[in-house]
Structure 1
Amino acid sequence: MFELKTVALFVITALAEIIGCYLPYLWLNQNKSPLLLIPAAISLALFAWLLTLHPSAAGRVYAAYGGVYIFVAIFWLWVVDDIIPSNWDFLGASVALLGMAIIMFAPRST
């Protein structure tokens, strides 16, 4: 159960970061409303707070989070940008998730 909660928290954290970065992108590159910066700032603040909820050393959390971020970003590419990821994208995301699992769930003495 710990593993499922950890991965779910990483996914929510990644979504908060991606949304927080995507909204300014829409404003800057697609001439959307600058009011998008308000929810972007809230989303990035949520992202930072969510990172503090992980029950491990900060460096380990950041390293493992990167693997989940890669996976969620590839999923975002597919769902939001409507670009079907390549087999290489899926392979890379899978390797990143494997790295996250090794970092977060390997047996530790401390």
Structure 2
Amino acid sequence: MGRAALIYLAAALAEIGGCFAIWSVLRLGRAAWWLGAGLGSLALFAWLLTLVESAAAGRAFAAYGGVYIAASLAWLWLVEGVRPDGWDLAGGALCLAGAGLILLAPRG
């Protein structure tokens, strides 16, 4: 696994964890301190994306989007206990293929 892939994976975990912490306060009635943890996790996510080697931020963010979708489906299964169906998996694979195309395309 390349450096960019590891950064994107870490960023996805930080973003999903941060969003889930805020979701937990607002939708599941968790304690307010979860908001602080969620905001810290979201700040970590933003910092991690700056570590991806890319001449343009938008390209780095676009490629990350596919990783985020696949990681969200893994979160759905592993954390929330809801098994992704075939449509989820096909969509996630399509998004990862698109992310790979954006990130690895030869550019002159």
- Report TM bin, short chain: over 0.9
1:15-48 deviation digits (Å, cap 9, x = unpaired): 1111111001111111110010111111011011
1:24-63 matched pairs, under 5 angstroms: 24-56=22-54, 57-63=56-62
Determine the C-alpha separation between the residues in 1 that align with 2:29 and 2:37: 16
Output the TM-score relative to the length of structure 1: 0.94
SS at match of 2:47: helix
> Is there any run of 5+ residues in structure 1 with no aligned partner, and where?
none
Matched, 1:18 2:16: yes
Output the TM-score relative to the length of structure 2: 0.96
Matched, 1:96 2:89: no
What is the RMSD of the two structures over their aligned residues, measured on CA atoms?
0.9
Determine the C-alpha separation between the residues in 2 that align with 1:82 and 1:67: 22
SS at match of 1:44: helix
Determine the C-alpha separation between the residues in 1 that align with 2:5 and 2:72: 15
Provide the identity percentage. 44
TM-superposed CA distance for 1:8, in Å, is 1.2
SS at match of 2:2: helix
Paired letter, 1:53: L
> Is there any run of 5+ residues in structure 2 with no aligned partner, and where?
none
Paired letter, 1:58: A
TM-superposed CA distance for 1:81, in Å, is 0.7
Paired letter, 1:70: I
